[in-house]
Amino acid sequence: MPSNSFNPHRYPALCAILGEEIVDPDHRSLADEAHDRILLKIIRGELTAGTELKTTKLAEMLGMSRTPVMQALSRLTADGIVSQALNQRATVRPGAENWLVDLHQVRQLLEPESAGSCVGRIPGDVLADLDLLVRDATPGKSPDWQTAARWLDQALHLVIAEYGGNLAMRAIIRRCWSYKRLSYEAGNDSDRHLREGWKQHAALVAAMREETPTRVTSLMEEHLRLAVAAGGRIV
């Protein structure tokens, strides 16, 4: 999430939760880049179901060596996005283009419960950072409010995962959110969508501070429902 002036280190408690890969994207590896670029082509329908994924051709297309491409295909295979039988080339699985949609369905099952469970468990410094980020992400407040709004999006949901009290849910939600940048790169974050998202996220943070679990759960359910209702957009 590049920006000339946005400084994620204004929110140290959130940085500790999000991790270095999100705080400083320059630490991402070539294999990470190859993984995301291949998956984005699958999601966009540029690599359709049954397409053979030849490492030499992909490496040439991506402008990198075969090693990170092979590592990326291994990760895509482990997730079930790509199928690779013994001694055969990897191929795109049927339905892989719906990966972000499928992940969103998983989030709809898990995140509302995790959101309600985290109420009263979030440390004060984390809540203070969320409050500050809500203010910084106020639409139109600064030239880089959109960058702050995307950061608020990830930070809030990962805080919910971190303090929901269920380690399995934490792992799954964080795994779902490792693909969030693809949603941004797919063009799913127009100015209007970011404004709507900020309003919903701000309401969730306020409800967390008021320590009303049922309201937080309800707001999260509505937030995730609206993400699908907005023209099929997945956020």
Residue 21: which H helix or E strand, with range? helix 20-23
Quote the pLDDT of residue 1. Answer: 41
pLDDT above 70: residue 186 = no
Average the pLDDT over 68-81 and give the result: 94
The reported pTM is 0.84
Domains and CATH numbers, the chain: 25-94 (1.10.10.10), 98-229 (1.20.120.530)
Q: Which residue has the higher pLDDT, 84 or 184?
A: 84
Quote the pLDDT of residue 85. Answer: 79
Q: Which residues 6+ apart lie within 8 Å of 142 measured at CB?
A: 5, 136, 148
Q: Which residue has the higher pLDDT, 193 or 112?
A: 112
C-beta neighbour count of 45 within 10 angstroms: 9
pLDDT above 70: residue 2 = no
Quote the pLDDT of residue 192. Answer: 83
Quote the pLDDT of residue 229. Answer: 54
Q: What is the pLDDT of residues 215-229, one digit of tens each?
A: 999 999 999 998 875
3-state secondary structure of 178: coil
Quote the pLDDT of residue 203. Answer: 96
> For residues 194 and 139, is the Cβ–Cβ distance under 8 A?
yes
Kindly indicate the confidence band of residue 233, based on its pLDDT and cuts at 50, 70 and 90. very low
Average the pLDDT over 128-147 and give the result: 94
Average pLDDT, the chain: 89
pLDDT above 60: residue 209 = yes
Quote the pLDDT of residue 27. Answer: 74
Sign, CA dihedral 15-74-79-189, equals positive
List the structure tokens of 112: 């509302």
3-state secondary structure of 52: strand
Q: Mean pLDDT check: name the lowest of 24-33, 173-182, 186-195.
A: 186-195
pLDDT above 80: residue 204 = yes
Average the pLDDT over 187-212 and give the result: 88
Quote the pLDDT of residue 222. Answer: 95
C-beta neighbour count of 210 within 10 angstroms: 10
Kindly indicate the confidence band of residue 187, based on its pLDDT and cuts at 50, 70 and 90. low
Using a pLDDT cut of 90, give the percent of the chain over it: 67
Backbone angles phi, psi at 86, to 5 degrees: -55, 130
Kindly indicate the confidence band of residue 235, based on its pLDDT and cuts at 50, 70 and 90. very low
Report the C-alpha gap between 58 and 81 in whole angstroms: 16
Kindly indicate the confidence band of residue 205, based on its pLDDT and cuts at 50, 70 and 90. very high
